[in-house]
Amino acid sequence: NAGVTQTPKFRILKIGQSMTLQCAQDMNHNYMYWYRQDPGMGLKLIYYSVGAGITDKGEVPNGYNVSRSTTEDFPLRLELAAPSQTSVYFCASSYIAGGLPGTQYFGPGTRLLVL
């Protein structure tokens, strides 16, 4: 199993450009998450999904959009890039059933620089 994969690894965007960060998992996990990591701030949840077709906002959703058309894929869309979106983005997935907490498994991350 590849686990959680993310593309691209690194990207430079100009202010106002848009892009999609790709995330895929091959573990048949029902839940998927997008986080951003800023220095000294830990990870903040942007969006999450409980299954195909169902998404919800996290702590810091402004400026982002997501979709989940399949169990495997959970892309994150930045419509109008701003310098404040310069960060490292991590996708994660987990299997949750019966109300018990699942372990989240993370992808390698996408480093985004907005200039």
State the residues that interact with other proteins by CB under 8 A: 4, 31, 33, 40-45, 48, 50, 56, 58, 90, 92, 94, 96, 99-109
Residue nearer to other proteins on the CB measure, 10 or 79: 10
In the complex, the smallest distance separating the C-beta of residue 22 from other proteins, rounded to whole angstroms, is 15
Cis previous bond, 8, omega within 30 = yes
Please report how close the Cβ of residue 16 comes to other proteins at its closest, in angstroms.
28
* Nearest one of 85, 51, 98, 89 to 70, comparing CA atoms: 51
Q: Which is nearer to other proteins, 14 or 40 (CB)?
A: 40
If the CB atoms of residues 77 and 111 are measured against other proteins, the closer one turns out to be 111
Phi, psi of 40 (to 5 degrees): 70, 10
Looking at the Cβ atoms of 14 and 101, the one nearer to other proteins is: 101
For residues 88 and 36, give the distance between their C-alpha atoms in angstroms, rounded to a whole number: 6
In the complex, the smallest distance separating the C-beta of residue 13 from other proteins, rounded to whole angstroms, is: 20
Q: Please give the angle made by the CA atoms of 13, 72 and 42, to the nearest 5 degrees.
A: 55
Contact 2, 26 (CB under 8 A): yes
Q: How far is the CB of 5 from other proteins (least distance, A)?
A: 10
